[in-house]
Amino acid sequence: MTPNGLTPAGQVTSADTPETRGDALLRQGLTQQAIESYLDAVTIPATASLCLKLARSYDRIGNHSEACRWALSIVDASDDYTTWQAGWTLFQRNAQRSAWPAARRVNVAIAGSYTTTQLGTLLRLAAARIGIQIDLYESPYGQYQQDIIDSGSTLYRFSPDIVLLTVHEGDLHLSEFSSNPAEEVQTEITRWTTLWNVVTNQSRARIVQHNFALPCDIPAGHLATRLPGSRYMMTQAVNTGLGQAAGSAVSIVDCERLSAFIGKQRWCDPRYWNMSKQAVALDALPLLARHTAAVIAADVGLSRKCLVLDLDNTLWGGVIAEDGLAGIQLGHGAEGEAFVAFQEYLLKLKRKGVILAVCSKNNHADAIQPFQQHPEMRLKLQDIALFVANWTSKPENIRAIADTLHIGLDSLVFVDDNPVERDIVRKFLPQVDVLPMPEDPAYYVRTLSQYLLLETASLTAEDSERTAQYQARAHIKALEASATSIEDFYRSLQMQALVTPFDETQLPRIAQLIGKTNQFNLTTRRHGMPQLEAFVGDTRYVHLALRLRDRYADHGLVSVMIARQDGNTLDIDTWLMSCRVIGRTVEATMLEHLCRRALQLGCTSIRGTYIPTPKNAMAAEAYPKQGFSRLDTTDGTETWMYDLQMNGSVTNPFVQSVDSWDPPHGER
Amino acid sequence: MDLHARLEDVFRQVFDNDHLTLRDDMTATDIEGWDSVAHINLMFGIEQAFGVRFKGNELADMKNIGELKQFLSGKVTA
């Protein structure tokens, strides 16, 4: 600027950046040139305002898919309310025109105690970012309880997959001070669990419940913490009680934690309550929407299973091949501590069931050295399900990782400090999600903890054993390569199966499998807990759960079959298998047991159905391979028949069926 | 950018209209889509963009855009 504040024409000012040049071009109507200028300005992750400008510019020139892509990247870039709102408008308009793909469509009914219009919009944007298209219904203001209790209400006519209870502390029926807090708390917990039960009895919907953010303004002051009868302490007791009462059909969004995270003063702004009954300030809604979407993603089985980790400057500071074992930053000193903290956080995720893989451009010998010799390494080689260090491109290696671990690319998250590698992976493997890494390693943990796709709906015992199973699988891939015949290979695994009818303790795992298995799933019918319980109580149904182990690992409960007796025929309603054990003849074992049950019931044939989806092509051959013959094809749905009298029972020479897991493997 | 252009930017974003131009004599009825939800979004957007806070019914009570600009220029330290 010149002293009089004017900029002479043609001179570049210090404020002249690719972004401001883009702004100027856009004002002149030169949209295409503006886009180029904006793209020059993009750092990774891009700022929210730049994402919005790019979305708007692409919208203007009619490039709908790019407009969608940039509108969605706003979710990663910031929690700014106004930008999110504008992003949603742009996304919605362009998604229709570009037929933007969604991995899942979910009907969400919002039953709320405050104005939820804004939250609904933001939730749809956050969900779209992670592949979920939400169709939305909102209960009329102040009527969420009636809407839930009345079985003929519009809420049920909407046939929701999820009923989202967006409620706030002011809605709790708790007195300011109670002389009998235990009873008052219990009454309030019962009010909520009753609503949950009503929903699950009247529909197939799952519940997502917002718990109660403690308020800013506490009349009892600091004394409140010493008084179990204060509303402050009773609210905490209700939160605890709801968490304990939530069965497998209920997920909780921890609003108390979110409000503390963003700050209570930002979370509650009384002006918005007074003006339009917004219990959560607009400023905090993007955070709430993001986390609610994350819980929904876990519910519908879209959470990611595996982190693919870079090494240099991701797990330690510096470059091992150049700096050497003594030169890398790890422990001791601020930067080194940041990497230790990141590794420790990764270990905790691993214990929760997240698989860790390594993908590094390094010589293998250099790459494993810190794992074997550096005293400050928290991650050990046995924590890594698959270790890939070579000079092949990352997309190619990541494909190989998915292939070896037998999981889809859409189960992977790529973690790399290098923005160029991140961009390449994003470009060549769009199914892989890329963690928007910050520059400062001190914030690696925070970024991962705020990441949307690592929520889990429930923690089963099997989750924490996953790494051992996946390691075993990688080992088996190597064996497979050396075995002379596939039969030799199957035999060398010494597989054993334990097949039982469903029992109570298995139901959460069975529901989890039914909810998330996409590939080997013949009918993709997503039965929930209530239906499963009904099948168990109904004698017309045959239900089988298969656990598999081999000489390397116990793979846990990996396959599920549900069939219904229909006269002389046993009709398979559901048959699925975890992709962990595909290609190991387990299918035949499952059918072997079904044949056994069919004969006991006096059935002479088994009927199977195959309903094709974009993801289950791998199951297309399941029936013909086992000797079924095709009966009919209608609208793509295939019906297959197995004649028990003519063909006899299916058998599998490679898997030994056992009646119990005792004695341990190999001691029979 | 002057106050008028900054305000126009907020309006364009909230109402998703690149071509929206503000005139001082405009009122809520002149702008398509200015309903109660948009009103809250607008108020929030202006607060964030200008670092101001409206009290009670201040925004709703303003007669037209000219009055809003006057209010902002009184509160905003340039």
Average pLDDT over residues A303-330: 92
Chain A residues in contact with B54 by the CB 8 A cut-off are 271
CATH number for the region A484-658 comes to 3.40.630.30
Confidence of residue A273 (pLDDT cuts 50, 70, 90): confident
Check pLDDT > 90 for residue A276. no
Return the closest-CA partner of residue A405 out of A359, A364, A366.
A359
Cα–Cα dist A241/A508, whole Å: 20
pLDDT digits (tens, 9 = 90+) for A124-154: 999 999 999 999 999 988 788 889 988 889 9
CB A98 within 8 A of CB A72: no
Q: Do B48 and A278 touch (CB under 8 A)?
A: no
Cα–Cα dist A631/A620, whole Å: 15
Chain A residues in contact with B53 by the CB 8 A cut-off are 271
Cα–Cα dist A540/A554, whole Å: 31
Chain A residues in contact with B44 by the CB 8 A cut-off are 81-82, 282-283
Range of the domain at B42: 3-75
CB nearest A117 (choices: B10, B37, B44):
B37
Cα–Cα dist A86/A55, whole Å: 10
CB nearest A85 (choices: B18, B41, B54):
B41
Q: What is the model's pLDDT at position A227?
A: 94
Torsion of CA A191, A291, A349, A242, to 10 degrees: -10
Give the pTM: 0.70
Q: Do A81 and B48 touch (CB under 8 A)?
A: yes
**Cα–Cα–Cα angle for A599, A601, A606, nearest 5°?**
60
* 3-class secondary-structure state, position A405: helix
Check pLDDT > 90 for residue A266. yes
Q: What is the model's pLDDT at position B8?
A: 92
List the 8-67 stretch of B: residues with Cβ below 8 A of A: 10, 13-14, 16, 18, 36-37, 40-41, 44-45, 48-49, 53-54, 56
Cα–Cα dist A574/A601, whole Å: 19
What's the burial of A420, exposed, middle or buried (CB within 10 Å: 0-12/13-18/19+)?
A: exposed
pLDDT > 90 fraction of chain B, expressed in percent and rounded: 22
Q: Do A276 and B48 touch (CB under 8 A)?
A: no
Confidence of residue A651 (pLDDT cuts 50, 70, 90): very high
Cα–Cα dist A472/A503, whole Å: 28
Q: Do B13 and A82 touch (CB under 8 A)?
A: yes
Taking the Cβ of residue B68 and every Cβ of chain A, the question of whether any pair is shorter than 8 Å is answered with no
CA distance readout (Å), A22 to A17, A276, B7: 8, 37, 20
pLDDT digits (tens, 9 = 90+) for A504-515: 878 888 998 898
Q: Which residue has the tokens 């000012």?
A: A13
Same fold: A15-100 with A306-454: no
Average pLDDT over residues B6-15: 91
Chain B residues in contact with A52 by the CB 8 A cut-off are 13
pLDDT digits (tens, 9 = 90+) for A347-382: 999 988 899 999 999 999 999 999 999 988 999 999
DSSP-derived secondary structure for A178-191: -S-HHHHHHHHHHH
- The torsion region of residue A484 among left (phi > 0), alpha (psi -120 to 50) and beta comes to alpha
Q: What is the model's pLDDT at position A207?
A: 96
Check pLDDT > 70 for residue A626. yes
CB nearest B16 (choices: A86, A278, A282):
A86
Q: Do B40 and A86 touch (CB under 8 A)?
A: no
Q: How many CB atoms lie within 10 A of CB A491?
A: 13
Looking at per-residue confidence, does A511 or A485 come out higher? A511
Confidence of residue A411 (pLDDT cuts 50, 70, 90): very high
pLDDT digits (tens, 9 = 90+) for A215-242: 989 998 999 999 999 999 999 999 999 9
Q: A163 has which bridge partners? A: A109, A207
DSSP annotation of A581 = G
CATH (domain of B20): 1.10.1200.10
CB nearest A276 (choices: B10, B40, B54):
B40
pLDDT digits (tens, 9 = 90+) for A156-176: 999 999 999 999 999 999 999
pLDDT digits (tens, 9 = 90+) for A561-575: 999 999 999 999 999
Confidence of residue B78 (pLDDT cuts 50, 70, 90): very low
Q: How many CA atoms lie within 13 A of B56 on its CB side?
A: 2
Q: Do B40 and A278 touch (CB under 8 A)?
A: yes
Q: For A276, name the nearest residue in chain B, comparing CA atoms only.
A: B40
What's the burial of A500, exposed, middle or buried (CB within 10 Å: 0-12/13-18/19+)?
A: middle
Q: Which of A125, A282, A285 to mutate to test the interface with B (most CBs of B within 10 A)?
A: A282
Cα–Cα dist A447/A450, whole Å: 5
CB nearest B44 (choices: A56, A117, A282):
A282
- Secondary structure of A18-67 as H, E, C letters: HHHHHHHHHHCCCHHHHHHHHHHHCCCCCCHHHHHHHHHHHHHHCCHHHH
Q: Do A82 and B14 touch (CB under 8 A)?
A: yes
What's the burial of A407, exposed, middle or buried (CB within 10 Å: 0-12/13-18/19+)?
A: buried
* 3-class secondary-structure state, position A138: strand
Chain A residues in contact with B13 by the CB 8 A cut-off are 52, 82-83, 85-86
**Considering chain A, what is the average pLDDT of its residues?**
89
DSSP-derived secondary structure for A335-364: HHHHHHHHHHHHHHHHHHT-EEEEEEES-H
Chain A residues in contact with B40 by the CB 8 A cut-off are 118, 272, 275-276, 278, 282
Q: Interface of chain A against chain B, CB under 8 Å?
A: 52, 56, 60, 80-83, 85-86, 89-90, 117-118, 271-272, 274-276, 278, 282-283
CA A636 to mean position of chain CA atoms: 29
Check pLDDT > 80 for residue A528. yes
Q: What is the model's pLDDT at position A10?
A: 40
Q: Which of B13, B17, B20, B46 to mutate to test the interface with A (most CBs of A within 10 A)?
A: B13
- The torsion region of residue A666 among left (phi > 0), alpha (psi -120 to 50) and beta comes to left
Check pLDDT > 70 for residue A289. yes
Q: Do A85 and B18 touch (CB under 8 A)?
A: no
Cα–Cα dist A479/A491, whole Å: 12
Q: How far apart are the first and last CA of chain B?
A: 11
Cα–Cα dist A295/A208, whole Å: 8
To the nearest whole Å, the CA of A86 is away from the closest chain B CA by 6
Number of compact structural domains in chain B: 1
Chain A residues in contact with B45 by the CB 8 A cut-off are 82
Rg of the Cα trace of chain A?
Answer: 28
Q: Homologous superfamily of A102-302 in CATH?
A: SGNH hydrolase (3.40.50.1110)
To the nearest whole Å, the CA of A80 is away from the closest chain B CA by 10
Check pLDDT > 90 for residue B28. no
Chain B residues in contact with A276 by the CB 8 A cut-off are 36, 40
Q: Homologous superfamily of A15-100 in CATH?
A: Tetratricopeptide repeat domain (1.25.40.10)
Check pLDDT > 90 for residue A6. no
Q: Which residue has the tokens 């963003």?
A: A262
Task: Give me the residue spans of the domains in chain A.
Answer: 15-100, 102-302, 306-454, 484-658
Q: A655 has which bridge partners? A: A495
How many CB contacts within 8 angstroms connect chain A with chain B?
Answer: 40
Check pLDDT > 60 for residue A13. no
Kindly report the backbone phi and psi dihedral angles of residue A651, in degrees, each rounded to the nearest multiple of 5, phi listed first: -130, 160
Check pLDDT > 80 for residue B77. no
Topology adopted by domain A306-454: Rossmann fold (3.40.50)
Structure tokens at A35: 């886009």
Confidence of residue A464 (pLDDT cuts 50, 70, 90): low
Question: What value of ipTM does the predicted structure carry?
Answer: 0.84
